[in-house]
Amino acid sequence: MLKIIITASKATLCAMLLLWATVAAAKNTIENVRVWPSPDSTRVVFDMQEKPDFSYFMLKNPLRLVVDINNTAHRKDYPAIEKKHQIVDKIRPSTPKKSGSTRVVFELLKATKPVIFSLAPTGPYKDRLVIDLYDKSDGQQAQNIPKNRVLETNRDIVIAIDAGHGGEDPGSIGPSGTYEKDITLQVAKRLERLINAERGMQAYMVRSGDYYVKLNNRSTKARKRKADFLVSIHADAFTSPQPRGASVWVLSLRRANSEIGKWIEDREKHSELLGGAADAIRDTASEKYLAQTLLDMSMDHSMKTGFKVAEEAIKELRKVAKMHKRYPQAASLAVLKSPDIPSILVETGFISNPQEERLLKTAAHQEKLAKAVFRSIRGYYRNNPPDDSLFATIKAQNPTRHKIRRGESLSVVASRYGVSVGAIKRVNKLKTDTVYIGQVLTIPNT
């Protein structure tokens, strides 16, 4: 009897040692799993206690992605996938290849390209394992799309609207916990509604929900939709709560020389890391792409157009909001670097300022901001419509008239409308450059 008891005790001890060894081997833990859907990809994020050690492989018939996370306590519960997901059907656990590890299976709905990487702690997050699943059927790259569109008749002017941040990247966080990504999307949707209600204009949302789009891909997506203009919506922040007011930014090919400009550039790099671009620091493809096109006249045109719209945007925003800067500011920002799409970045206010944070959360103020941005873009394209657009047809049928105000000269009027002094003189049969207050001039089409 004593021998049986001793044998049983040994068996119990062995089982306990085996259990202890399994737990000891599983040093890491999956603390949470988050799923972010977007129209052409799905991102799954594993919040880890420590840096993950992982491997993966694909299976066919049916399509599956299998991810093994070594030295990690096995997890059985995973979030259900909503029907709006177009890539992932189900996430489920499976028997791990060895004890003390976790195996996760992604049941897929279509051919998928997986991009899997770990991220070090940054911002509000600890270590993470990020799994990006891209739809293989959406593989056409922007460089394969011809730059020159086929001329149509009376086409809409396409305005791409980029709501800053999203998904993993909350952007700046206000004193009361407001996420910048939520404010930017709300303002962007209001701007979208105004543009789509305007005859001859059409809006395209770079992101329409709470998911992240790589910074360099934002202008690429706009290019795929043959956008005429891109406006990126943000809510500013700073290290102290005092700064407040809206501002408008344009592309600079040099490092920003203002303190706020350097802060914004640094935030953009931080945004890439939060959003999960593991190669953000090493990826110089966009810089090479930009360098190869600097000699292209389209870059010069894009920057000039962006600056003119920025000036108009400041004029409109001053009517509805306090301005942090009264002139367009310049910084080297990835979202503005498409060589053939004029673009601006609008900082709607400082979310780090308690009073401005409360204001940015109100529907009334968001609507005022959206209307100001809309009026500035519409005003520019009414005066400078693309030749094949409905705006150009309307302008030809209804020539622009300008009434001379105090302090205006012929050269000032010509610069405002983007035409030459000679063209104005010919249309109005002027023999000299002299104009007088109250004189009405016909502005020729550009």
User: Per-residue pLDDT for 2 more than 50?
Assistant: no
More confident residue, 215 or 95: 95
**What's at 373, amino acid-wise?**
V
Q: What is the pLDDT of residues 61-94, one digit of tens each?
A: 999 999 999 999 988 899 998 877 789 999 999 9
DSSP category for residue 166? B
Which amino acid does the sequence have at 262?
Answer: K
What pLDDT score was predicted for residue 270?
A: 58
Given this model, what pLDDT does residue 153 score?
72
| Measured CA distances, 358 to 174, 178, 240, 269, 352 (Å) | 9, 9, 17, 27, 10
Between CA 119 and CA 124, with CA 122 as vertex, the angle to 5 degrees is 120
Residue type, 175: P
Provide the Cα torsion 31, 115, 62, 82; round to 10°.
Answer: 50
Residue 258 backbone dihedrals phi, psi, to 5 degrees: -100, 155
Q: Domain 399-443: which CATH class?
A: alpha beta
- Whether the predicted pLDDT of 443 surpasses 80: yes
**What is the residue type of 207?**
R
Q: What is the pLDDT averaged over residues 297-301?
A: 68
Whether the pLDDT of residue 401 is over 90: the answer is: no
The correct answer on CATH 2.60.40.3500 for the domain covering 26-138 is yes
| Mean pLDDT of the residues in the chain | 83
Please check the confidence at residue 280 and state whether its pLDDT lies above 70: no
The reply to whether 153-383 shares the fold of 26-138 is: no
Residue 178 pLDDT: 95
State residue 232's pLDDT score.
96
**Most confident option among 23-32, 156-165, 407-416:** 156-165
Nearest to 186 by CA among 361, 327, 42, 26: 361
Q: Is the pLDDT of residue 433 over 70?
A: yes
Say if residues 377 and 439 touch (Cβ distance below 8 Å).
no
Q: Are 312 and 376 in contact (CB under 8 A)?
A: yes
Cβ proximity of 189 and 14 under 8 Å: no
Express each pLDDT in 329-360 by its tens digit. 988 777 787 777 899 999 999 999 999 999 99
Radius of gyration of the chain (CA): 28
The C-alpha torsion from 396 through 402 and 408 to 411, rounded to 10°, is 10
Q: Are strands 53-59 and 64-70 parallel, antiparallel or unpaired?
A: antiparallel
Please tell me the distance from the alpha carbon of residue 408 to that of residue 308, in angstroms, as a whole number: 18
Q: What percent of the chain has pLDDT over 70?
A: 80
Does residue 281 surpass a pLDDT of 80? Answer: no
Span 153-383: which CATH code? 3.40.630.40
| Range with lowest mean pLDDT among 67-71, 188-192, 260-264 | 260-264
Least Cα distance to 161 among 248, 252, 229, 213 occurs for 229
353 contacts 242 by C-beta, under 8 angstroms: yes
Highest average pLDDT, of 25-39, 116-130, 207-221, 375-389, comes from 375-389
Region of 288 (left: φ > 0; alpha: ψ -120 to 50; beta: rest) is alpha
Q: What is the DSSP string of 118-158?
A: EE--BTTB-SEEEEEEEEGGG---GGGS-SSPPP-SSBPEE
Split at pLDDT 50, 70, 90, the class of 138 is low
Domain coordinates of the chain in residue numbers?
A: 26-138, 153-383, 399-443
Q: Is 220 helix (H, G, I), strand (E, B) or coil?
A: helix
Which range in 23-27, 145-149, 380-384 is most confidently predicted, on average pLDDT? 380-384
**And the tokens for 281?**
């620091």
**Cα–Cα distance, 66 to 118 (Å, whole number):** 16
Confidence (pLDDT) at 140: 45
Alpha-carbon dihedral 434, 438, 439, 440, rounded to 10 degrees: 140
pLDDT of 365: 97
Of the listed ranges 124-138, 275-289, 363-377, 426-440, the one predicted with least confidence: 275-289
In the predicted structure, residue 175 carries a pLDDT above the cut 90: yes
Residue whose entry in the numeric block shows the structure tokens 């997050």:
125
| pLDDT category of residue 4 using cuts at 50, 70 and 90 | very low
12-16, 134-138, 153-157, 329-333: least confident range: 12-16
Packing angle between helix 421-428 and helix 410-417, nearest 10 degrees? 110
- Note the pTM of the prediction, 2 decimals: 0.73
Provide the pLDDT for residue 21: 47
C-alpha distances (whole Å) from 127 to each of 44, 101, 145, 190, 443 are 14, 17, 38, 36, 60
Asked if 188 and 374 touch (Cβ cutoff 8 Å), the reply is: no
Mean pLDDT of 121-143: 76
Task: Please write the tens of the pLDDT for every residue from 302-318.
Answer: 888 999 999 999 999 99
Looking at residue 23, its pLDDT comes to: 47
**What is the percent of the chain where pLDDT is above 90?**
54
Q: Nearest-CA neighbor of 250 among 168, 178, 166, 313?
A: 313
Range name among 12-21, 395-404, 405-414 with the lowest pLDDT average: 12-21
Please report the pLDDT score of residue 145 as a whole number. Answer: 41
Query: Who wins on pLDDT, 438 or 215?
Result: 438
* Mean pLDDT of all residues in 14-24: 48
